[in-house]
Amino acid sequence: MPNAFNFAASPFDCLTQEQQRLVRDNVDVAYFRRDEVILDVGSAPTRLFVIIKGNVAQYDGDELAASYGPDDSFDGRGLVAGKSSSRFVATEEVLAYELARQTVNDLIAANANFGALLFSDLGAKLSAAGQRQSGNELQTLNLSRVDEAFVRPAHIVDAATDLVSVVRLFVQERTTNVLVRDAGSPPRLGMFTTNTLQRAILLERPLEQIAVGELANWSLICVRPSDQVGDALAVMLRHQIHRVVVAEGERVLGVLEALDVFSFLSNHSMIISQRIDAANTIDELAEAARQITGMIGRQFRGGTRVMLIARLVQDLNARLFERAWQFIAPPELVANSCLVVMGSEGRGEQLLKTDQDNALILRDGYPPPDDLEAICARFSDALTRFGYPPCPGNIMLGNPAWRMPAAAFAQSVRQWLVMPDPDSLMNLAIFLDAHVVAGDAHLLDQVRDGLWALATDNDMMLARFAAAIDLFSGSGGGWWLRLIGDATDRVNLKKEGIFPLVHGVRSLALAQRLRETGTTARIAALVEADVLSPSMGNDLNNALQLFMSIRLQAGLAESARGEPVSGAVDPKTLSTLERDLLKDALGVVKRFKAQLRHRFRLGAL
């Protein structure tokens, strides 16, 4: 029987051959009857259990906390701590391997990843899981530091240097750029590139009479040497530039060129961005939009962090929507309005394409075109061509309720807050995630300003808003049963995990009047304000990343099969490690919801 031990299941899949032999030499098999208590609260575990057949329920008090099926192990944390904090009960006949405590301790001492995957918190498990995949070249490249990549040496010239001398330096050093130092007060640093040289030629002045400082770009974009290469690429994409300066404080270390990372990173995000910028028609934009899903798949399979993928997608979509709006709307309308996206797109957490959530805020006193409704309809049609289906709830700028002057929009937002009905609270939640993609961003600020004072002065309103964290709590223990594959229906990670986490953070952000829209940015601000502890903030970030990763994995699989992307997860497709991580992530959400109930006194509603 020991020879049949499944070493492909987590955490045993990280063991060496010698460590696997240690397991085989020290494993026994145990049988438990249905309803038998395997471990009780306060008992001292002497063995680690690995289920061969059957299912085991873990209870915290009378509440089902987790369920375990074949290849799952328990109670690693109790074994290390010397005391079990939960009750483990066989829900049917159970056959399980037993691994003695000393053997487990020997494995932990010999293999740090095994220990982390067995009993550490979610963050440590994710870190260990990432280390096991470090052989993936693309992942290693994406996660490597900027100073580990090819950083070109910086060539610095004085602002008074003439352009002929600069061109000689280009040829001599085989470079396409120089940094320009102006010793004025205050001193500043800029950049001059071969692209700018073309402008100089058009000035029709002798190049030896033109100082490089006249044409230098003094708005440098910098990254730190400790930043990740993938993050540096995202910065280039966001600012639509081809290079960034690598600096540590005031000390310049060099220049990182986009071309130097293209051959190592398979995401093609910069190429898609260039296609969007070069497009002259909606058809050309649609072609660029079709490439985004392929980029997401390549990035994800290459091991890129899901939050970084989401940032790249947000930047590409923002540019795509902005260009489409500029093609469709007259310039005067673009200048006197603010086009926003909302929901997961606004938070920068949308990956695969979902329905449209957008709105249009008009400047007060501006008379819009007579055909505004038709303009908005054409924009929605364009987004549909890009792969974004219309919103079932009609939360789109084609709906007059989401297309209003700023003052009227602000009044609607305030009414959403004071009206306790579900539709109003849903509208408010969606709007709080609004992110500007085109037009005058001050119009969005104008609408938000009147909301903050009203929100923070009414605890009952905030409580009603926060209470939505329990909107999908009716499934109870059904999550765990589906997670181990006992039921045929799939797990909806958005309802079970993402929504309560995101909305809980959103509620705290509203109470603190935080202007951040992304969940990770809100968490960072809440930690800084001492509203969340650093450990809870870290756990929430890790849980969100895990939920998004598994949901993306399921969506990509649906897309590959030619099925509509639902984001639902089939538990049978999850590995033992993924199930274990999901249990930990759900535990984080459970603890967070308890904290929110206390903070907003939800029990008094």
Same domain as 590, residue 465: yes
CATH number at residue 387: 3.30.460
- Which is more confidently placed, 485 or 317? 317
| Confidence band for 72, pLDDT divided at 50, 70 and 90 | confident
Q: Residue 457 above 80 pLDDT?
A: no
Which tokens is 543 given?
């849980």
| 281 part of a folded domain | no
pLDDT at 129: 54
The number of domains in the chain is 4
Q: What is the mean pLDDT of residues 139-153?
A: 69
Strand partners, 248: 251
Residues 583 and 462 in one domain: yes
In this structure, is residue 299 part of a structural domain? no
Nearest residue to 52 via CA among 30, 21, 85: 30
Check whether 355 has a pLDDT greater than 60: yes
Does one domain contain both 501 and 577?
yes
Q: 77 and 191: one domain?
A: no
CATH number for position 466: 1.20.120
Q: Is residue 76 located within the same domain as residue 195?
A: no
Each residue of 272-294: pLDDT tens digit? 787 788 788 999 999 889 888 87
d(CA 49, CA 39): 10
Domain that holds residue 85: 2-119
Of 457, 486, 508, the residue that ends a domain is 457
- The CA distance from 14 to 118, in Å, is 11
The residue to which tokens 């969606």 are assigned: 430
Residue 270 and residue 28: Cα distance in Å, rounded?
56
**Lowest model confidence (mean pLDDT) among 170-174, 327-331, 334-338:** 170-174
Confidence of residue 119 (pLDDT cuts 50, 70, 90): low
Q: State the amino acid at position 289 in one-letter form.
A: A
Q: Is the pLDDT of residue 244 over 90?
A: yes
Percent of the chain scored above 70 by pLDDT? 88
Higher-confidence residue: 136 or 380? Answer: 380
Boundary-marking domain end, from 119, 138, 155:
119
371/440 same-domain check: yes
CATH of the domain at 87: 2.60.120.10
Least confident of 186-190, 231-235, 437-441, 571-575: 571-575
Residues 81 and 183 in one domain: no
pLDDT of residue 268: 58
Measured distance CA(297)–CA(554) in Å, rounded: 11
Helix/strand/coil for 395: coil
Same domain, 251 and 378: no
Q: Judge whether 414 and 458 are in contact, CB under 8 Å.
A: no
Asked, for residue 308, whether it belongs to a domain, the answer is: no
Amino acid at 271: I
Residue 293 lies in a domain: no
Residue 286: inside a domain: no
504 within a domain of the structure (yes/no): yes
Q: How many CB atoms lie within 10 A of CB 74?
A: 23
More confidently predicted of 26 and 482: 26
When pLDDT is averaged across residues 207-222 and rounded to a whole number, the result is 92
Q: Whose structure tokens read 């938000």? A: 448
pLDDT-above-90 percentage for the chain? 43
pLDDT for the residue 496 = 83
Q: Please, which pLDDT band fits residue 499 given cuts at 50, 70 and 90?
A: very high
In a domain, 331, yes or no: yes
556 and 599 fall within a common domain: yes
d(CA 194, CA 145): 28
The set of residues, in sequence order, having a beta carbon less than 8 Å from that of 560 and lying 6+ positions away, is: none
Task: Inform me whether the pLDDT recorded for 582 exceeds 90.
Answer: no
Average pLDDT over residues 555-566: 81
- Whether residues 330 and 397 fall in one domain: yes
One domain, residues 514 and 598: yes
Do the domain assignments include residue 276?
Answer: no
Tokens standing for residue 158: 């004085």
Beta bridge partners of 228: 145
Residue 605 confidence class, pLDDT cut points 50, 70, 90? low
Domain boundary at 421, 437, 457, which? 457
Residue 7 has pLDDT above 80, yes or no: yes
Q: How confident is the model at residue 138 (pLDDT cuts 50, 70, 90)?
A: very low
Residues 443 and 467 in one domain: no
Mean pLDDT for all residues in the chain: 85
Q: Which residues contact 590 (CB under 8 A, 6 or more apart)?
A: 65
Report the distance separating Cα 149 and Cα 111, nearest Å: 30
